[in-house]
Amino acid sequence: MAALLPRNAAPPLPDADAATSSLSLDAAPPPLPDADAATSSLSLDAAPPPPDADDDGVAALTAAFLADGYVAVRGVAPAGALARGRDAALVAFAECFDAMAARGEPVPPGVGQKGGYREIVRRHVGRYEMRRAPSRDWAALRRIVEASRAHAVAVAALGGEAVVLGCSCVVAEAACAAQAWHVDGGHLDAARHAAPHCVNVFLPLVDVSRGGGTEFRPGSHYLTRDLKRMMLVAKIKKTLRPPAVPVLDPGDAVLFDYRVLHRGTENTTGGPRPVFVLTLARPWFRDLLNFPKRALFPGEALAGDDLPGAAAVS
Ligand SMILES: O=C(O)CCC(=O)C(=O)O
């Protein structure tokens, strides 16, 4: 989901892709709790999860999330809801393409906001982010994720209070190549490592247990504040960790910090790979969704229309 380039004051990345994104915070953030001057060491940075978060493994998952910048959460959604969400997403996706063709617009659309629509933007060759609300099944999936341990971990990692900032679907076309490494947003404090302010929950709607998942650089959210320098230090200190693709079984989700290096791997699932995405943030954080105003389906409600980050940008 989300931007191929950081949406706010992000560090330059070595091979970040050329797609653009909007950079916006609507309010200056308040100081974050005890953000320590972390260098490349992977110490925990955030306030501990609230006391009620230690049931059902939430505290342990939150600790892993804070250390690694991502964590897999098992059994978030049942098979039926996944299948219905997948079918709804793929129907909505195809309808977007039909509407482009009917309007005589280029199919596929150009990469980036300029070639995109309020319903769908092509973020990268073969990868799209879609906000078209694909039926009640999509709303049901959102309710399932919001009631899950994945949501509880995200809220705990965000200091115990969070708002849903976005709801969308990332679709990778069959066989599309791996993405460039990127972050979804930059650090808000250039001087020291702060606790997470924004978290994506990814719930794959097809089986990615044998390939096609999302790859992460564990602990790299500690490095992206000053990537070149901190990566070099980590290499010298031999603390740089190898990339990892968490193995997700159907129904599992992966949560990640906006600031961790990640990328979609080659889509080897044999078909399109839709992923349900819920973006949560500290209540004061705003990140404008980088979708243009041009509509394929004027007047139609979109996924996440009710959310604080829903304003489209032109
Ligand atoms: O497809 C994926 O696994 C990752 C997608 C992503 O990171 C993005 O679109 O920014």
Please tell me what DSSP assigns to residue 17. -
Q: Considering only 28-32, 174-178, 225-229, 285-289, which range has the smallest mean pLDDT?
A: 28-32
Please tell me what DSSP assigns to residue 37. -
Average pLDDT score over residue span 141-160: 97
Most confident by average pLDDT, 38-42, 164-168, 249-253, 304-308: 249-253
Average pLDDT score over residue span 17-43: 31
Q: What residue's CA is closest to ligand 1, atom 2?
A: 264
How far is the C-alpha of 209 from the C-alpha of 180, rounded, in Å? Answer: 21
pLDDT higher than threshold 80 for residue 10: no
Check residue 309 and give its pLDDT.
58
Does ligand 1 come within 6 angstroms of the Cβ of 1? yes
Does ligand 1 come within 6 angstroms of the Cβ of 123? yes
Average pLDDT score over residue span 226-237: 96
Q: Looking at the CA of residue 273, tell me the nearest atom of ligand 1.
A: 1
Confidence bin at 305 (pLDDT 50/70/90): confident
Does ligand 1 come within 6 angstroms of the Cβ of 264? yes
pLDDT higher than threshold 70 for residue 194: yes
Does ligand 1 come within 6 angstroms of the Cβ of 84? no
Check residue 308 and give its pLDDT.
64
Does ligand 1 come within 6 angstroms of the Cβ of 122? no
Q: Confirm if 111 and 21 have CB atoms less than 8 A apart.
A: no
Check residue 111 and give its pLDDT.
94
Q: Report the length, in residues, of the chain.
A: 314
Among 130, 169, 179, 224, which is best to mutate for testing ligand 1, by the most ligand atoms less than 8 A from CB? 179
Domain topology for 9-21+32-42+54-281: Jelly Rolls (2.60.120)
pLDDT higher than threshold 90 for residue 46: no
Check residue 313 and give its pLDDT.
41
Average pLDDT score over residue span 140-156: 96
Average pLDDT score over residue span 8-27: 32
> For the residues of 133-160, what is the DSSP string, one character each?
---HHHHHHHHHHHTSHHHHHHHHHTTT
- Looking at per-residue pLDDT, the higher value among 232 and 47 belongs to 232
Check residue 29 and give its pLDDT.
33
Confidence bin at 133 (pLDDT 50/70/90): confident
Q: Confirm if 253 and 201 have CB atoms less than 8 A apart.
A: yes
Does ligand 1 come within 6 angstroms of the Cβ of 262? yes
Check residue 190 and give its pLDDT.
93
Going from the C-alpha of 240 to that of each of 47, 61, 182, 297, the distances in angstroms are 24, 22, 17, 46
Q: Looking at the CA of residue 127, tell me the nearest atom of ligand 1.
A: 9
Summarised one tens digit per residue, pLDDT across range 62-74 is 999 999 999 999 9
Does ligand 1 come within 6 angstroms of the Cβ of 261? no
Rounded to whole angstroms, the maximal C-alpha distance in the chain is: 57
pLDDT higher than threshold 50 for residue 36: no
What is the overall mean pLDDT for the chain?
Answer: 84
- Looking at per-residue pLDDT, the higher value among 44 and 242 belongs to 242
Among 183, 198, 214, which is best to mutate for testing ligand 1, by the most ligand atoms less than 8 A from CB? 214
Summarised one tens digit per residue, pLDDT across range 245-297 is 999 999 999 999 999 999 999 999 999 999 999 999 999 998 866 789 999 99
Residue 49 tokens, joined: 């999860």
pLDDT higher than threshold 90 for residue 20: no
% of the chain beyond a pLDDT of 70: 80
Domain ranges of the chain: 9-21+32-42+54-281
Which backbone phi and psi does 308 adopt, to 5 degrees? -65, -25
